[in-house]
Amino acid sequence: MSELPRTYAIRTLGCQMNVHDSERLAGLMQEAGYVPVADVPAKAERATEAGDQGADVVILNTCSVRENASNRLFGNLGQLASVKRERPGMQIAVGGCLAQQMRGGIVERAPWVDAVLGTHNLDVLPALLERARHNNEAAVEIEESLKVFPSTLPTKRESAYAGWVSISVGCNNTCTFCIVPHLRGKERDRRPGEVLNEVQALVSEGAIEVTLLGQNVNSYGVGFGDRQAFSKLLRACGQIEGLERVRFTSPHPAAFTEDVIEAMAETPNVMPSLHMPLQSGSDRILRAMRRSYRSKKFLGIIDRVRELIPDAAITTDIIVGFPGETEEDFQATLDVVERSRFSDAFTFMYSPRPGTPAADMEEQVPTDVVKERYNRLIALQSRIAEEENTARVGREVEVLVSASEGRKDAQTHRVSGRAADNRLVHVALPEELSEADRPRPGDMVRATVTHGAPHHLVADSALAGELFEVRQTRAGDAWASHEARKAELQAEAEGKLPVSIGLPTLRVGA
């Protein structure tokens, strides 16, 4: 297989920041001449159960927020060690938050790892791999602070029709359960011009949806002295031609200001959805979490958003069983959930994260109590989400078709994607639909909601001969040409076409 290109695979274990960082890592690898292993079937078919995907370089992008993160990482690395023994030249790299935290400790426990890099120096990955290969020993490099803003690195986007753009990294808050400030440092804001250039570049490549990303988007601008910078950025995104959907994550309730709600309401391509972490409905617990808003302020923001954007779908994050949480505190959370009518909630059972202040707090809540409260919260939230989704039956939705959101689509003859308010929708295709009329990922489909479940909507109006409209988009075209290129690479790797890695194929008569 020596004539085949060197391949890589990335496993992302973590949050959206990590997913975005993985795109950067993929971009860097491709710039250095590596090819995604999925594009070289002869290598991909060597994949084992260790999660190596058959690649020559396996990169684990780790997270330290998940429970048992380090046990899982070393479990994964143990499995990869036996693959590496059988695969000459294979390399393993570890990046992400856990790498930033454990540093050289990773190679001490897993000496077969070739490269370790932190969250501040993604750009060194290809160089570390090269150095490790040359010196035949592990290369570890962790930076204490950011050298290159991650968004200035090359990127390989996961999707042709939607992309993330970092507006800031790090966080100036000090929530006591969170490791982010420790690992990712103080907030650093990108200049608006730079952000908008990146958004524009994405749109030029075919994207029609962009999500602005920061740990705390509402404090964007503090770094360069403009407290309204975020609302201005939203309005500026509204001016970008061809950009149909703008989303952002995550705002912090303490820093949420009226100008942002107004910008959301007045900018047509800013979508009517809001993800705003509550964490707890008890003011006493919010204080212990060192989150500086109170439940009244949180509910006030929700009321105001609904006043200006009546159809907004609001989602949240909630932690159950933070140290010291009493039944009364938990009840306060249930009350806020009941009032807020979230369309979805990401719920977490508290478990101590080493390195965070809350891990050392007394009064840790016993696991069985946490579980019992968690189940009550899930039951309440599921009921609310189902009621809210059922109330959508009969409404028209416009769905941006996704390549990956509907696992059962092939069996159910549907396509899946997100409505404007970010709800997941499964849409039935008309029975007699030609291949040419079939919506592609990136295209938009209009249909009527026929059923609401706690976590998704079904829009099967086509089956009754009612509304089903496909709007082909530039994003659908971009997806189609990306797929065509992939098929070409595959054919080359299988020897059906002359190899042309990185070079356009010359077709006689073209």
State residue 104 phi and psi, 5-degree precision: -65, -15
Question: Is 422 in a helix, a strand, or coil?
Answer: coil
Picking from 137, 326, 216, the residue whose alpha carbon sits closest to that of residue 129 is 137
3-class secondary structure, 15: coil
Would you say 440 and 479 are in contact if contact means Cβ atoms under 8 Å apart?
A: yes
Q: How far is the CB of 291 from ligand SF4 (least distance, A)?
A: 7
CB of 189 to ligand SF4, least distance (A): 14
Name the pairing type of β-strands 139-141 and 115-117: parallel
**CB of 129 or CB of 255, closer to ligand SF4:** 255
Site string for ligand SF4, 200-239 (x = CB under 6 A): ---------------xx-----------------------
With 0-12 CB in 10 A as exposed, 13-18 as middle and 19+ as buried, what is 214? buried
Is 237 annotated for ligand binding? no
Q: How far is the CB of 61 from ligand SF4 (least distance, A)?
A: 18
- Is there a binding annotation on residue 97? yes
* Chain centroid to CA 137: 33
**Residue keyed to tokens 């073209």:** 510
Compose the 166-205 pattern: x for residues touching ligand SF4 by CB under 6 A, - for all others: -----x-xxx--x-xx------------------------
CB of 271: closest distance to ligand SF4 in angstroms?
22
The minimum distance between CB 17 and ligand SF4, in angstroms, equals 9
315 contacts ligand SF4 (rule: CB under 6 A): no
Instruction: Give the pairing type, strands 57-62 and 91-96.
Output: parallel
Q: Which of residues 421-460 bind ligand SF4 (CB under 6 A)?
A: none
Start-to-end C-alpha separation, the chain? 31
The answer to whether the peptide bond before residue 500 is cis (omega within 30 degrees of 0) is no
Q: Which of 130, 151, 153 is nearest to 141 (CA)?
A: 130
Looking at 20, 43, 84, 252, which residue binds ligand SF4 (CB under 6 A)? 252
- C-beta closer to ligand SF4: residue 173 or 197: 173
State which residue, 173 or 228, has the beta carbon closest to ligand SF4. Answer: 173
Nearer to ligand SF4, 107 or 255 (CB): 255
d(CA 177, CA 351): 9
**CA pair distance 209, 475, nearest whole angstrom:** 9
Q: Where are the strands (E) in 323-443, listed by range?
A: 344-349, 396-401, 414-418, 424-428
**Binding track over 153-172 against ligand SF4, x by CB under 6 A:** ------------------x-
Distance separating alpha carbons of residues 318 and 376, to the nearest angstrom:
13
Nearer to ligand SF4, 37 or 171 (CB): 171
**Cα–Cα distance, 265 to 473 (Å, whole number):** 25
* Alpha carbons 61 and 82: distance in angstroms, whole number: 20
Give the number of residues in contact with ligand SF4, rule: CB under 6 A.
10
Smaller CB separation from ligand SF4, 5 or 251: 251
Smallest distance from ligand SF4 to CB 254, Å: 9
The reply on whether position 97 binds ligand SF4 by CB under 6 A is no
Tell me the sheet residues that pair with 399.
445
Residue placing its CB nearer to ligand SF4 in the complex, 173 or 267? 173
Total number of residues shown for the chain = 510
Nearer to ligand SF4 by C-beta: 178 or 203?
Answer: 178
Sequence ranges of the binding site for [4Fe-4S] cluster? 15, 63, 97, 171, 175, 178
Sequence ranges of the binding site? 15, 63, 97, 171, 175, 178
| Binding residues vs ligand SF4 (CB under 6 A) | 171, 173-175, 178, 180-181, 215-216, 252
